[in-house]
Structure 1
């Protein structure tokens, strides 16, 4: 990763046009080829950027060349072109305050508490959370289009496919719908009904699920872990 602090101007051309006037900024060139332009305030998001796949070409000017063109005093120009769309990010550096490179190596990734894998494991261990007399068939039940998070049977013995998300949105309901269409072709499982389970389910997802005959269940992650005793709450 290359980190450059410089007084620079930035122009983006392509599907939209944007201009950042001359000011001190942080420029980041990552190993995957992406280039990001940051300020020292506003938010964690870059002011402008180019995502990979892209190509970075640099042009430097000598003092003599700069003297001949008094209209601009830039010393280095970055032209970043997206390989597919042709969009271009042009950064002109007028003064470099800091320039360093660092080898970060492979990142182990962010480990979150309460992600879908944890929710799936907890719900499988506590399948009767969905109803008394329920039994687990298996986690990650394989289908031709991907694994169903949980396949279970309710107290009446009917097959139930459970799709688990941290945040329940429309695309999750669509995913479960495709699983149900496939599972209901299997005479050993049919009829299979669906449950869409998440910590938070958006209203649009609830409406679509109801239209598809899918039951929505809101999961209490702390209660599943045995940390939060709902009966001991004052509110």
Structure 2
């Protein structure tokens, strides 16, 4: 990972445009190719970013980051206070909490929750950046990658997007569609997912556990 603290401005050029005026920011260039722009506030969320696969070209005081759709993140650097690279090694991956792990197990056992005719291929299907929760096949035989969260937020959609990009490079699987499944999905996450062609699925924990039957409800 490369860490750069620089006084810079940032422009996003794509379907929309966005501008970050001149300020001191943290620029992260990750081994997976992603580039993220952070401020000293806003918790863990970057101010702007470009997800892989993308290319970074460094010019005279300018970084131009271009993704496969031709969208660009242009970072104009006035001065650099720090620039270092660090090898973080292989990450063991996220250890899911009990509820999330149980949701994965239950959905694997009740794969028909995705729709009639779906069948499970594998839980924890490996990718170079970590395992996707479930890989399934739809009634027509097409591959479907399922990412499961307790609460569905934007970072979960980004995670599934990265998995889909890698899975779709495998000619034995492509094309692979995505399903973002959670007990609760935030409106912003749903909007982003649907914009990227990812289906959203709200999970009912009690129904999956077999202790609630929706057909028996009066309301």
TM-score higher than 0.5: yes
Alpha-carbon distance between aligned partners in 2 of 1:193 and 1:157, rounded to the nearest angstrom: 12
1:107-134 deviation per Cα after TM superposition (whole angstroms, max 9, x unaligned): xxxx976x11000000000001111111
Q: CA deviation at 1:234?
A: 1.6
* TM-score under structure 1 length normalisation: 0.52
- Please name the residue that 1:138 is paired with: 122
- Please name the residue that 2:150 is paired with: 166
Alpha-carbon distance between aligned partners in 2 of 1:231 and 1:194, rounded to the nearest angstrom: 28
Residue from 180, 190, 195 that aligns with 1:211: 195
User: Which is higher, the Rg of structure 1 or of structure 2?
Assistant: 1
Unmatched 5+ residue regions in structure 2?
1-95
* TM-score under structure 2 length normalisation: 0.55
Count of residue pairs brought into register by the alignment: 124
1:135-156 deviation per Cα after TM superposition (whole angstroms, max 9, x unaligned): 1000000110000000000001
3-state SS of paired residue (1:188): coil
Alpha-carbon distance between aligned partners in 2 of 1:112 and 1:120, rounded to the nearest angstrom: 11
Q: CA deviation at 1:227?
A: 0.2
Alpha-carbon distance between aligned partners in 1 of 2:213 and 2:112, rounded to the nearest angstrom: 17
- Please name the residue that 1:233 is paired with: 217
Q: CA deviation at 1:229?
A: 1.0
Q: CA deviation at 1:167?
A: 0.2
Cα RMSD between the aligned structures? Answer: 1.4
Q: Which runs of 4+ in 1 moved over 3 A?
A: none
- Please name the residue that 2:178 is paired with: 194
